[in-house]
Amino acid sequence: MQTVETLNEGLKRAYTLTIPAKDIESRVDAELARVAPQVRMPGFRPGKVPANLVRKMHGPALMQDALNTSIQESIQALLAEKQLRPAVQPSVALTEGYEPGKDAELKIEVEVLPQVPAPAIEGLKLEKLVVPAADEVIDEQLQKFADQTKSWDETDEGYAAQNGDLVTMDFVGKTMDGVAFEGGTGTDMAVELGSGRLIPGFEDQVVGAKAGEERQIKVTFPEEYQAKELAGQDATFDLTIKSVKTAGEAKVDEDLAKNLGLESLEQLRGLIRSQVESELGNLTRTHMKRKLLDQLAAGHDFEVPPSMVEAEFQQIWAQLEHEATHEPDPKAAMEEMEKERDDYRKIAERRVRLGLLLSEIGQANGVEVTQQEMNRLIAQAAQQYRGEDQQRFIQYIQQEPMAAAQLRAPLYEDKVVDFLFDKADVTERETTREELEAAIESEDGFATGTHHHDHDNHKPKQKKAAAKKKSEEATADVAAEDDAEVKPAKKPAAKKKAADAPADTGEEAVAATPAKKPAAKKAAAKPAAQDEAAEGEAEAKPAKKAPAKKAAPKTEA
C-alpha cells in the first residue's frame, strides 16, 4: 500500500492511497481456495469443481468483496499509521476508470479531532445554591392533591351553576348561518366553570345554567385556533345541560392518602417531600453545572472540527424551527431566529468544544459507564417501544457502536460533571427557589433544563432567548474515533407505534388552545420503587464496545 498526503491544513487531511492489484488478487485466490470445496456443480464430485470454473461462476462477486475488504483495511491502517482520530466518517472515493486486475487508487478526505490541551481542572470554584423544602411548600402540594381529587356533590333541582361548579353538557356548534361544523358536536362533556379550559366566553355563558335546561350561546374562536376555517370566526353552540354539581370540601386527611393507594397521610407527605427535594436538588445541580461549564469554556480555547460544528448547528436549528411552529406567530419567531443565526453557530461551536473537553477529562481520569449501567440504559430506552420492537431495539444498540455511544453519552457526561464537582472548591449558600430560578434564567448566563414549553404565554422574542440559552449549555456528542468502521450507522428497525387515540367527545372543538397531546402526569404520590422494576438488570447481552474514545456527553436541556 502506497500513501501520499495531499492536504494537511488545520484539522483537514487528504491522501491518495494505492492498493496494488496483486494484493487484491491474492485475497481473491485465498477466498477461492476457501469456497471451492463447498461448490456443487453437475458432473463433478463434491469438492472437485475446477478452480477456473469456480472463478468463472463467482469471480466478480469475490473480486468486489476483496476490493471492499482491501479498502476498509487500508483506511484503518492509514488512520493507525498517521495516528488520526476522525471527527466524522472519512470521505472515500475510488478513482474513475478502475478495472479488475489494476491497482486501486483511493482519494481519502478526513477531518480529524484536535489535540485537546491538558484540561485545567484545578482551582475550580463553585457556589451551591440550596433551597430547603419548607413545610409550607409541602402543605401547598398536599392541598393541590386534595383539590385535584375533590368529590362532586349533586345539587337540588333548580340550582343555578356558578364558577367552580362541574357542569356536564351535550353541545352542537354551528356557524352563524346555522350550519353545524365538523367536530363541533359533543356529548357528556364535563367542565369546571372558571377553569379556562374552553374558548373565551364559553364558560362565562354557562354560569346560571340549570340541569335540564337548553340554551344557546355565542362565541368567537381565537385567531390562533387550530382549525383554520374557524379561527377568528363567530359561532353558536346549542347546549343541553345534563347535570350541575358543586365541589365537595377538599380535605387533607388520612382518606386523601388512602384514596391515592397509600397507607397514611404521613406517607403521602413523605413522598411529596422527597419529590420536592428532588426537584429543588435538580435546580441546584443545573445551576452548578452551568457555572462549571462556563468556567471550562472560559479557560479552554482550541480549534474544533467545522463538520462537527455544522452538524451541531443543524441540530440546534431544527429544534428552534420546531419550537417556532408552536408560537402564536411562527413567521415572526422565525424572523427573530434568523437575526441570531450567527450567535447560534457560535453556540454550536461552544457545545462541540465542551463535548471534546469533557470527553478528554473523563478519559484522563478513568471515568467510565459500567456494563451494568449500560444495560439499565438500554432497558429504559427500550420501554418506549412495544412488544417485539423492544428486542429489535436492544439488538440494534448492541450491533451499532455509534448508537450505543449516543445512548451512553448523557450518563457519561453526568459522571464527568460529578467528578469535577468533587474536585471543585464548593461553597454552599441557602436561598429561595425564586432566586435560584432567576439565576438559572438570567440573561447573562446559560439556560438549563428548567425551560418550559409554555408556547401560549411566550412571545417570539422570549422563546428565542430561552431556546438560545438552553442551546448554550448543552454539550455535543463526539463521534467514536480510532477503530470506527468507515460506514454510516444504520437506523433502528424498531419504530414506536402510535398510541390508541382516545374516544372523541368533541371537546377539542371548544378547547381554549389548539389541541395538543397532553404530557403524562407525574404520579407524585406513587412510591419511586414502583418505577424501579424497569431499571433492573437487562437480559440484553453487553453492547459492543464503542471504538476508540468514549463519546463526549450531551446535556438534555
Q: Is the pLDDT of residue 73 over 80?
A: yes
Round to whole Å and give the CA distance between 553 and 116. Answer: 16
- For the cut 80, the answer to whether the pLDDT of residue 484 exceeds it is no
Indicate the pLDDT class of residue 469, thresholds 50, 70 and 90.
low
Report which of 186, 189, 218, 223 is spatially closest to residue 201, judged by C-alpha positions. Answer: 218
**Structure confidence by residue, pLDDT tens digits, 421-443:** 999 999 999 999 999 999 998 74
Within 10 angstroms of residue 143's Cβ, the number of other Cβ atoms is 14
pLDDT at 71: 87
Query: What are phi and psi for residue 270, nearest 5 degrees?
Result: -65, -40
Tell me which of 123 and 53 has the higher pLDDT: 123
Instruction: Look up residue 489 and give its DSSP letter.
Output: P
Closest CA to 287 of 445, 465, 454: 445
Main-chain phi, psi angles of 423, to 5 degrees: -80, -25
Rounded distance between C-alpha atoms, residue 192 and residue 194, angstroms: 6
Question: Which among 384, 402, 401, 123 is positioned nearest to 393, based on CA atoms?
Answer: 384
Burial of residue 336 (number of CB atoms within 10 Å: 0-12, 13-18, 19+): buried
CA-CA distance, 525 to 262, in Å (whole number)? 8
Is the pLDDT reported for residue 350 higher than 90? yes
Q: How far apart are CA 394 and CA 540, in angstroms?
A: 7
Q: What percent of the chain has a predicted confidence (pLDDT) above 90? A: 41
- What local confidence, expressed as pLDDT, does residue 399 receive? 86
Distance separating alpha carbons of residues 542 and 544, to the nearest angstrom = 6
Mean pLDDT for the chain overall: 78
Cell numbers for 470: 438552553
Measure Cα distances from 311 to 10, 303, 351 in Å: 19, 16, 11
**pLDDT tens digits for range 362-378:** 999 999 999 999 999 99
Mean pLDDT calculated for residue range 493-498: 38
Supply the pLDDT for residue 53: 75
Strand partners, 126: 426
Per the CB < 8 A criterion, the answer to whether 66 and 27 are in contact is yes
CB 252 within 8 A of CB 525: no
Q: Given this model, what pLDDT does residue 374 score? A: 93
Q: Which of 169, 158, 223 is nearest to 193 (CA)?
A: 169
CA distance 398 to 402: 10
323: its cell numbers: 419550537
385 has a pLDDT exceeding 60: yes
Binned at pLDDT 50, 70 and 90, residue 444 comes out as very low
